[in-house]
Structure 1
Amino acid sequence: MVLTQLAFATFNAVAFGMAVFLVAAGLTLIFGILKILNMAQGAFFMIGAYVAYSMLGQDSASVGMFIAVSIAAGAVVAVLGLLTDRIILNRLRNVDYHYVLIATFALLLFCNGMVKLIWGVNFFTVTPPPAIDEPLELAGLYMSKYSLFVIGAGVVVYLLLDLAIHRMWLGKLMQALATDSWMAGLLGINVPLGLALSVMFSFFLAGLAGGLLLPNQSLSPGLGDSYLLYAFFAVIIGGLGNIRGAFLGAILLGLVNSLNTVLLPDLPGLAIYVALALFLFLRPEGLFPSLASAPAPATDQKSSAMSGPRADRRLWQIVGVLAFAAAATLPFWANGGLLFVAGSVLVYGLFALSWNILFGYAGLASFGHAAFFAIGAYFAGVMLRDLPGVPFLVTLAGCGVFGAVVAWVVGSLALRRLAGIFLAVLTVALGEVTRLLISYSSFLGREDGLVGIPRPRLDLIVTTIDLTDSGAYYWFLLVMMALLLGVLWWVLHGRYGRMLLSVKQDPERAAFIGINVVRTRVGAFMLSGAVAAIAGGLYAPWSRIVTLEEVSFLASTQPVLNAMLGGVHSFWGPLLGSAIFSAISYATRTFVGLSELMVGSILLFIILVAPNGVIGFWRQIRGHLVGRRRGVAAGAAKVDITRSGGPV
């Protein structure tokens, strides 16, 4: 009996691992060649599944037809990949990896929006071909024939890739392009053609995986998200850009997941994130050396723009005062829906600013920042529900302390060994672990979350203010936002802010002049976590419900989008980005898929055309106008001097 259970668990582990590898194969290949960690790979995997569904319908005739349709879906996605490379990826080569991750995530949003517009949001189920749709009994062990098919497909894809990369001229070409494309060009290799073929093949693998795994689960616009995360983890564990490492990493994830199911059935999925964290701490380079090393963070020469010229700073201060005055009038004339959106803009603006403390000032990227927001939201929700007598300002302070402590634990462990992509992936794992732990807790409402959170009464020394009314709580949000912005402005534009910018721009030089780099980064992590948790604490009574959506992977991208949209090199950028993003979402809320499509398009445009965001774009235009005026003035002065006989 024990042997049978062990064999069944191993079989399920390998089947799970091969499904992950089919998605990870294209991901690791494109990184090995272009050094781009493509977050949109899951979206193109999903597109391949939808294309195969459009060809097959819900029933497939034969195994041969099923494979042929999967290959055709891969070919369609390969063509889309070529277009993507020409329009987007080609411009992301040799760009800071932070912007690459964010741009490819914007591409993921764009693809998700297109899928919803074309195929809708309904769930579809597809049955495997009849020949592989029955269980197979072997020595008393019942196995799914379709799972055996997935295992076989994964092994075949791995063997073909391993043979091509390590034994054939095509693999030698790919390794030459990955190592030094400039030298490959000097040797007579057609570099643009080689890169285009490599990109097309990696996208072909994504589309092929979508077709082959179509019957594995329900087809929906969220299909690619879970596969993308697991594929990322397999690539990180195996070694960036190494196909053998991705294969073994996927199998290892399958084994960990299977052991989790057997040993910890009440905590499904948790062991994968624990294993990932251990690998990142103990062996961040992965199981095998990569074809291409992880990109190093690019030195940001525009960090000095964080403070901005005095004229610009004075302008934005005036704009901020006028915006605050206008926002204060909303409860007098806005309806309930618009007022809720405005209050949410304040909270999400503060959340985006907390993320930008890490990215814009310290040069660190977090893709699991929703964990801190959720910590504050659930803490405030529980306090208001179970201990309403505790003053709300004390509750908010507790949110900040709780967020700072968690950030200190994570930062103290991670920032001594991890940076760049590895730190970003670790924060993703932190967010997912937080989501899983909340989903296991009946005290926190599991999947339903905390509902009916009461709004507080604000106990002051001289009076008590009732915040149960939406207008009153909105004004409270506005005042708290102004106070927090004032404190953060003072901190980030003072000595500590200058230390952060020094560490971001050149860590080695900062250490040479006596700055403790690790301690400074940990401090930024703590400040960021505290502000994000306070934002969550303010949001809980405003929305009166907190669910797992607040800690999802997509929720962690919200502050990234807001900060990038407004401009990460400006203190006010995240606030402006939050307002623009919320306005777009509110205006397109009734159009399925249109909101994601527009946000993805705008963010892609900003990354490719104006990477410093809306404020950076404004400064660029303003600089051109000022430069033109000075040029005209200088020309006029030159003419006057020439006419007077003076020196030119």
Structure 2
Amino acid sequence: MANEILFAFFNAAAFGMAIFLVAAGLTLIFGLLRLLNMAQGGFFMIGAYTAYSVMGRDVQSLGMFLLAALAGGVVVAVLGLVTDRLVLRRLRHVDPHYVLIATFALMMVCTGVTKLVWGVDFFSVNPPPGLDQPLNPFGLFFSAYQIFVIAAGLVIYVLLEIAIHRMWFGKLMQALAADPWMSGVLGLNVSFGVALSVMASFMLAGLAGGLLLPNQSLSTGLGDSYLMYAFFAVIIGGLGNIRGAFIGSLVLGLVQSLNTVLLPQVPGLAVYVVLAIFLLCRPSGLFPAVGSQDAGHHEAGSGGSLHRPQVPRRVWQALGTALVLLLATLPWWVGAGPLYVVGTVLIQVVFALSWNILFGYTGLVSFGHAGFFAIGAYLTALALRHVAGVPFLLVMGGAALLGAAAAWLVGVLALRRMSGVFLAVLTVALAEALRLVIGFSAFLGREDGITDIPRPVLDLLLLRVDLGSSNAYYLFLLATCVLITGALWWLLHSRFGRTLQTIRQDPERAAFMGTPVASYRLAAFVISGAVAAVAGCLYAPWSRIVTVEEVHWLASAQPMLNTLLGGVSSFWGPVVGAGLFAAIAYATRTLVGLSELIVGCGLLAIILLAPNGAVGLWRSLEARLWGERARTPAPPEPHSQAAPRAAGQPLRAGGTP
């Protein structure tokens, strides 16, 4: 028994130090710039591939192994400097939600570049000589390489602790992080100090990639798992705190080790449970950093010009009607492949609209929205597979209720305690926990999912409509999407929607004016979860297969990308974004690596140059094309006693179509 406990603690230390090697750079850049860099996993992966290119599969010596890892760190440090100049410095004073999304896009760029340079094959690297043999102290067998990882983590922690808290350089960096303006007044070179610190944090990511290369197979998904655990360690320990990241990594390592021993049926589940408990009980972490990550909430791109001449609404109504009619004719003149893509876009429109209820209208962000989507998809798959003749409208209603109940439970526990990054991390943790449960559930098909889902039969009073063919179900999808979109448009343009926008712009002022902010946020969360579950319900019979990939945290990014591409400043932004994103993905589907690269670069361009998205760009063009006549001042009325209009005062109120 004692040997088993000792072995469990050894595994916990090895896993925890592996997490800390990645988390060190993540927390360092946050402590300096208040940027939570989701692209850290991508640069970790580039560091690993660089080290592999230097040393190959069979390392000749320990010195060569260390040299290759250092080369990975140096390459990533240079890339970090370029990234800081082009991207990060533009994100230092924007909404933290946009920072998360922009760095997620940067991670897609890293994945695309990796596929283009190194391909998509899997590689494995053996530990260097001297670390490839087990050690046998106390009658137990320990991996020499794992002991090396533990030692490497301890050495990096000690060096960072000394550099940050004991040396003059670290104190200067702390001064830059606390007040860059005052540091500049006192004569410090702020730009050079920030660039040096950014390079250090990126170098740590690349170095970790090289050192952990023999730990698992090298692939283009290498950074995802390490990023998630590093992200969780930083949240548990406290954003921007090296000691917190170190302790948080050890906590996760211990939890993972105990999970393997006590609950081997669902490995990894305990990590998400512990993270959720930490976020609910102590969202600021064990060692809270100075300042708030959610402070200075900027509504980048949430507003519009007060004076915005626009195309008459009846023109848009006519164009929208024409588009719906055109989509209704697709089954008669396009093939099965393009029709499936368009049907999937319709489902993604509903999914993106559900996410935009939170972000665009309420100011909340969810990185685990795919969990609600999966609830509706799996419920529908089970109902259609195992209950003969079940009414599909009843299934849709059940999916909406189950999604709303799950959202209510999460909202009641979380919304009063957290928002911003902490809420985003909690939602992704819960979604990943759901993914693990599904992946180990025989009833839900484990990793293979549920296949051969039958298309339903629709009961409308005395009329039964068979939706078994793709054409029939596509027309049903189109009609349902139009109805849901219309219902959401009415809801979000009602008093309820206007109140949500008021809360998004200034929750403190809204609460002061008597608005029950918590109740409105909870209502928005529940509605959003219900609509996302309905989107999943529509998806299951359309694709005829539901797998755990629908719950993956990358799937939660899909509505986010669609919304940002179209524009969060408009109700129709997610609709436009879903269409544009599908067109880009379909056009680049055969280009290995280029798809992620094009989409990632496009999202970065939108965040940095046009945060209002495609709709915002159109409105700017619309104002130029239709605004000349409105900018021409009308001749004054004879003997008018009206006061002159102040510069910039709007001629008329600009509404959102």
TM-score bracket for the superposition, by shorter chain length: over 0.9
* Residue aligned with 2:465, SS: strand
* 1:117 and 1:593 in contact (8 A); partners too: yes
**2:255 equivalent to 1:238:** no
2:404 paired residue number: 404
**1:331-350: CA deviations, max 9, x gaps?**
00110000000000000111
1:362 paired residue number: 362
**2:582 equivalent to 1:579:** no
How far does residue 64 in structure 1 lie from its aligned partner after superposition? 1.3
**2:535 equivalent to 1:526:** no
1:261 paired residue number: 260
Structural mapping, 1:24-423, within 5 Å:
24-296=23-295, 298-300=297-299, 303=302, 305=304, 311=311, 313-423=313-423
1:646 paired residue number: none
* Residue aligned with 1:554, SS: coil
How far does residue 170 in structure 1 lie from its aligned partner after superposition? 1.1
How far does residue 304 in structure 1 lie from its aligned partner after superposition? 5.5
* 1:49 and 1:211 in contact (8 A); partners too: yes
* 1:241 and 1:292 in contact (8 A); partners too: no
How far does residue 589 in structure 1 lie from its aligned partner after superposition? 1.0
How far does residue 511 in structure 1 lie from its aligned partner after superposition? 1.5
* Residue aligned with 1:555, SS: coil
- One-letter amino acid of the structure 2 residue matched with residue 432 of structure 1: E
* 1:491 and 1:497 in contact (8 A); partners too: yes
* Residue aligned with 2:135, SS: strand
**2:494 equivalent to 1:494:** yes
- One-letter amino acid of the structure 1 residue matched with residue 469 of structure 2: D
- Distance across 2 between alignment mates of 1:475 and 1:430: 34
- One-letter amino acid of the structure 1 residue matched with residue 109 of structure 2: F
* Residue aligned with 2:289, SS: coil
* 1:404 and 1:530 in contact (8 A); partners too: yes
1:508 paired residue number: 508
How far does residue 303 in structure 1 lie from its aligned partner after superposition? 4.4
* 1:133 and 1:146 in contact (8 A); partners too: yes
Bigger shift: residues 591-600 or 179-188: 591-600
- One-letter amino acid of the structure 2 residue matched with residue 599 of structure 1: V
* Residue aligned with 2:555, SS: helix
1:567 paired residue number: 567
Segments of 5+ residues of structure 2 without an aligned counterpart are 637-657
Structure 1 residues 516 and 386: alpha-carbon distance in aligned structure 2, compared to 1, 3 A threshold: same
How far does residue 626 in structure 1 lie from its aligned partner after superposition? 4.0
Bigger shift: residues 531-540 or 311-320: 311-320
**1:141-189: CA deviations, max 9, x gaps?**
1100000000000000000000000011110111011100000000000
**1:464-492: CA deviations, max 9, x gaps?**
11101000000000000111111111111
How far does residue 9 in structure 1 lie from its aligned partner after superposition? 0.4
1:616 paired residue number: 616
2:458 paired residue number: 458
2:558 paired residue number: 558
* Count of aligned pairs between the two proteins: 635
The normalised TM-score by structure 1 is 0.96
**1:20-70: CA deviations, max 9, x gaps?**
000000000000111100000000000000000001110111111111111
Structure 1 residues 314 and 354: alpha-carbon distance in aligned structure 2, compared to 1, 3 A threshold: farther
- Distance across 1 between alignment mates of 2:300 and 2:55: 52
2:648 paired residue number: none
- Distance across 1 between alignment mates of 2:334 and 2:590: 20
- Distance across 2 between alignment mates of 1:100 and 1:333: 43
How far does residue 570 in structure 1 lie from its aligned partner after superposition? 0.9
Structure 1 residues 297 and 465: alpha-carbon distance in aligned structure 2, compared to 1, 3 A threshold: farther
How far does residue 529 in structure 1 lie from its aligned partner after superposition? 0.3
Two-structure CA RMSD over aligned residues (Å): 1.6
1:448 paired residue number: 448
Structure 1 residues 79 and 315: alpha-carbon distance in aligned structure 2, compared to 1, 3 A threshold: farther
* Residue aligned with 1:130, SS: coil
* 2:309 and 2:630 in contact (8 A); partners too: no
How far does residue 513 in structure 1 lie from its aligned partner after superposition? 2.2
How far does residue 575 in structure 1 lie from its aligned partner after superposition? 1.1
* Residue aligned with 1:365, SS: coil
2:18 paired residue number: 19
How far does residue 585 in structure 1 lie from its aligned partner after superposition? 1.0
How far does residue 319 in structure 1 lie from its aligned partner after superposition? 2.9
**1:218-277: CA deviations, max 9, x gaps?**
000000000000000000010100001000000000001111111111111011011101
- Distance across 1 between alignment mates of 2:421 and 2:263: 30
How far does residue 291 in structure 1 lie from its aligned partner after superposition? 4.6
* 2:435 and 2:552 in contact (8 A); partners too: yes
- One-letter amino acid of the structure 1 residue matched with residue 547 of structure 2: T
* 1:240 and 1:293 in contact (8 A); partners too: no
Bigger shift: residues 284-293 or 564-573: 284-293
Structure 1 residues 303 and 45: alpha-carbon distance in aligned structure 2, compared to 1, 3 A threshold: closer
* Residue aligned with 2:267, SS: coil
Structure 1 residues 116 and 306: alpha-carbon distance in aligned structure 2, compared to 1, 3 A threshold: farther
1:642 paired residue number: none
Bigger shift: residues 267-276 or 314-323: 314-323
- One-letter amino acid of the structure 1 residue matched with residue 372 of structure 2: F
- Distance across 2 between alignment mates of 1:202 and 1:299: 26
- Distance across 2 between alignment mates of 1:144 and 1:312: 71
- Distance across 2 between alignment mates of 1:513 and 1:180: 33
**1:555-575: CA deviations, max 9, x gaps?**
000000000000111111111
How far does residue 299 in structure 1 lie from its aligned partner after superposition? 4.5
How far does residue 306 in structure 1 lie from its aligned partner after superposition? 12
* Residue aligned with 1:464, SS: strand
* 1:565 and 1:603 in contact (8 A); partners too: yes
- One-letter amino acid of the structure 1 residue matched with residue 56 of structure 2: G
* 2:302 and 2:568 in contact (8 A); partners too: no
- Distance across 1 between alignment mates of 2:545 and 2:327: 24
- One-letter amino acid of the structure 2 residue matched with residue 253 of structure 1: L
- Distance across 1 between alignment mates of 2:356 and 2:316: 18
* Residue aligned with 1:132, SS: coil
Segments of 5+ residues of structure 1 without an aligned counterpart are 639-648
* Residue aligned with 2:87, SS: helix
* 2:302 and 2:612 in contact (8 A); partners too: no
- Distance across 1 between alignment mates of 2:437 and 2:3: 31
* 1:451 and 1:546 in contact (8 A); partners too: yes
- Distance across 1 between alignment mates of 2:76 and 2:573: 36
- Distance across 2 between alignment mates of 1:192 and 1:305: 32
* 1:305 and 1:570 in contact (8 A); partners too: no
Bigger shift: residues 506-515 or 547-556: 506-515
- Distance across 1 between alignment mates of 2:564 and 2:619: 15
- Distance across 2 between alignment mates of 1:140 and 1:293: 49
1:471 paired residue number: 471
- One-letter amino acid of the structure 2 residue matched with residue 404 of structure 1: A
Structure 1 residues 299 and 36: alpha-carbon distance in aligned structure 2, compared to 1, 3 A threshold: closer
How far does residue 111 in structure 1 lie from its aligned partner after superposition? 0.8
* 1:15 and 1:254 in contact (8 A); partners too: yes
* 2:310 and 2:622 in contact (8 A); partners too: no
How far does residue 295 in structure 1 lie from its aligned partner after superposition? 3.0
